[in-house]
Chain A
Amino acid sequence: MSRADAPGASLYHRAVVWLLFLILLLPLAGTLLYSLATSWSATILPDGLTFKWYLQLWGEPRFLKAFGQSLLVCFGALALSVVLILPLLFVVHYHFPKLDALMNVLILLPFAVPPVVSAVGLLQLYGSGPLAMVGTPWILIGCYFTIALPFMYRAITNNLQAINLRDLMDAAHLLGASTWRAAFVVVLPNLRKGLMVSLFLSFSFLFGEFVFANLLVGTRYETLQVYLNNMKNSSGHFNSALVISYFFFVLVFTWAANRLNRDKA
C-alpha cells in the first residue's frame, strides 16, 4: 500500500522468507529422508523407502527405557519447579516487590553461566560425601530446575502483572478470605495460562538437554539425548529415526504451547 515498496519488493521479501524457511528445513528434511531410506550412501538421493527403522526403534527396549527416563526427569524437574517457584513468585510480588529486581538478575545466571562451568562445581560438590547424587536422576532434577527457572519466572511474572495481584488480593481480603485461601482460590486459577505455556516451553528445552545429562549422569541413568550420543556408531538410519521421533515428540509439545499462547492473546 505504501509507496516505499515497489511491487517487485514484495516478491523479493517473499523469496527471502521462503529461502529462510528452506534453510531451516533442510537438516530436518535430510534426517527425515534418511530415516525412511532403505540405504543411502554416497549418492544424492536414497535408494528406497521403508518404515523398518522406526519399527526397529520403537521395539528397542533400551530406547524406550531412555525415553521413559527422560520423561521422568523432565516431569520431576517441572514438578519441583512449580512447587518452588509459585510460592516464590507470590511472596515476591505481594510482600517484597523490590526483590523482583534482584530476581531478574538472578534468573540471568542460568543463561550467563554455561552448563559446562556449573558441571565442574557440581561434580565436585555432589560427587561423593553426604550429598552424593552424581550418577542419579536427582542431580538432574535439581539442575533442570535451574534451567526452567528463567522461563517460568518471567512468564508467570508477566501473568501476575497482567492480573494486578494487589488489587485481586485486596478484593479477596475485603470479602473475608485469608491470604492463604485467596492465593489458592483466586490467584492460582488466573495463573493457569502463564504456567502452562512456560511448562511446555521449559519441557521442550529440558527434553533436549545434553550437557548435564552426559557429564553428571551419563549412562548410569540414560536419558534420550545421552542414548542418542551413545548410539553414534550404530546405523545412521536407526539414528535418524531416533532423531525424528524425538523431534516429532517435542514438536507436538511446542505446538501445544503455541496454541495456548494464541488463546491467551
Chain B
Amino acid sequence: MSATHKPRGKWLALLCLLPFAVFFIAFQIAPLVWVALNSLNTPDGWGLGNFEKAFASKFYMQAVKHSLQIAFWSSLFGMLIAIIGSYSLRQVDSKLRDFVIAFSNMTSNFAGVPLAFAFIILLGFNGALTLLLIQAGLIESFNLYSKNGLIVLYTYFQIPLGVLLLYPAFDALRQDWRESAALLGAGTWAFWRHIGLPVLTPALLGTFVILLANALGAYATVYYLTTGNFNVLPIRIAAMISGDISLDPNMASALAMILVGLMAAITLVHQLLLRRSYHVPR
C-alpha cells in the first residue's frame, strides 16, 4: 500500500516526526546520555573512578542496601495484599467490584508528598493510628521515619498499582479449568498448585518487577517524610545535584547509573525466570 505513495509524501511525513523527535531527544534521551557519559567523568580523567569510589564507600553502599531492602519488602507485601484483594474482587458482585477498583485507581493519585503527609498524621509519633495501636496493646511504639516505617509507607502505595496489574491477570484463569480439574479429582489446593499458580506466574513475576522498579525510583514520598535525611539512592543522587552541601554531578551520575543498573539487572532476572517458567502466548 505504501508503495503507491510518492517519495515526496514520505519525506513530508518524516518531517512531521521532527518536532516530536527534537523534544523527546532534548528531554528524555539527552539527559540520559549525559548521565551515562559523565558517570565516567572523574577528577582524574575518564574512567571508572566514580564507580570504584561508590562501591568502596560504606555510606553509598548503605544507600543501595536500604533502597533494595525497602523495594523488596514493600513490593512483596504490596503484592501479597494485591493478590488476595484481586482474587476476592473477582468473586464479588460487579457494583462493589467496580466501586473498589475505581477507588483504588483514584488513590494512586494520592501518592508522593500528600501520602507522606497523611501517613505522618496517622502513624507519626503522635499519630491517631499509632496511639490506637499502642492503646490496644498491639505495638509498643512505631517509628514511621525508620526503614520499617518506610516499608509500611511504600507498601501502601504499591497496593493500587499491584491491584491494577494483577486484577486482569486473574481473568486468564478460566472457570472451566477449575471445573474440569475438580472432576478429575483436584481439590482447591491441588488446583492452585498445578494449574492456577503456574498460569499466573508470568503475570506475578512481571508485576513484582514493576513494583520493584516503582519503589527503587521513588523520591517524593521519602524526601517529604524525612526531609531528605534517610539514606536511599534517589535521595543521595538528588542531594548531590541540588546545591546542598556536596555538589558533584559526576558522582551523582555514577550513582544514577547504579540505580538504572539495578533496575536493568532485575529486569534481566525477570526475563530469565520467565523463560524457565511456563509462558502463555497471547
Contact = CB atoms under 8 A, between A and B. Distances in A.
A42 B126 contact: yes
Interface string B210-239: 000100111110011001000000100110
Given A16-B85, A31-B121, A120-B253, A84 B109 contact: no
Interface stretch (B29-37, B49-57, B58-66, B197-205): B29-37
A39 interface: no
A249 to B, nearest CB: 10
Interface string A195-213: 0000000001100111100
Contacts of B103: 21, 24-25
Interface string A134-168: 00000000110110010000000000000000100
Interface string B80-115: 010011001101100011001011111101111111
A43 interface: yes
A114 B252 CA distance: 13
Given A42-B126, A210-B219, A5 B91 contact: yes
B106 A251 contact: yes
Nearest to B221: A210
26 contacts: A4-B178, A17-B85, A20-B81, A20-B100, A20-B104, A21-B103, A23-B159, A27-B115, A28-B110, A31-B117, A41-B126, A44-B135, A87-B20, A95-B2, A95-B10, A112-B260, A114-B234, A116-B234, A118-B27, A119-B238, A120-B252, A215-B241, A228-B114, A243-B114, A243-B118, A254-B105
Given A85-B20, A113-B260, A228-B114, A16 B28 contact: no
A118 B31 contact: yes
Given A42-B131, A225-B113, A123 B241 contact: yes
Interface string B154-175: 0010011001000000000001
B35 A24 contact: no
The interface residues of chain B, by DSSP majority, are classed as helix
B272 interface: no
A186 B102 CA distance: 33
A249 B9 CA distance: 45
A125 to B, nearest CB: 6
Given A23-B159, A85-B20, A229-B113, A121 B104 contact: no
A16 B260 contact: no
Contacts of A27: 110, 115, 118-119, 121-122, 156
Interface residues of B, number: 89
Contact of A84 (B5, B20, B91, B175): B20
B23 A247 contact: no
A113 B216 CA distance: 11
B23 to A, nearest CB: 6
Contacts of B84: 16
A87 B16 contact: yes
A24 B104 contact: yes
Contact of B88 (A12, A83, A125): A12
Given A28-B107, A43-B131, A146 B27 contact: yes
